[in-house]
Amino acid sequence: MSFREETVQKFVAEVFEHSKARIRAFEGCRHMELLRHKTSPNVLFTLSIWDDETALEAYRASALFAETWAKTKALFAEKAEAWTVEVID
């Protein structure tokens, strides 16, 4: 997620801090963390691990996601990207 420079701290303090415990406690969420790009401090990533695609889709359809996403996307400098990946080794 690429944030406008002036909104990074707002995202961390007001959006992520407010929602992280609820996301981590969401049924099917095994792990979730916030990462920052080392050379572009306005680029942040969430890394989450879910039981399966059904659990992830249930989260994406939840009121928690809708509320969090609405607050988050208002702070973006660019359109966000999301990837679903799998461990191969």
CATH number at residue 29: 3.30.70.100
pLDDT digits (tens, 9 = 90+) for 4-29: 999 999 999 999 999 999 999 999 99
Tell me, yes or no, if the pTM score tops 0.85: yes
CA distance 59 to 32: 13
Look at the chain and report how many structural domains it folds into.
1
Residue-range definition of the domain harbouring residue 12: 5-73
pLDDT for the residue 86 = 87
What 55-59 contacts at long range (C-beta under 8 Å, 24+ apart), as own/partner pairs, is 55/27, 55/28, 55/29, 56/28, 56/84, 58/27, 58/28, 59/23, 59/26, 59/28, 59/29
In a domain, 85, yes or no: no
pLDDT digits (tens, 9 = 90+) for 41-69: 999 999 999 999 999 999 999 999 999 99
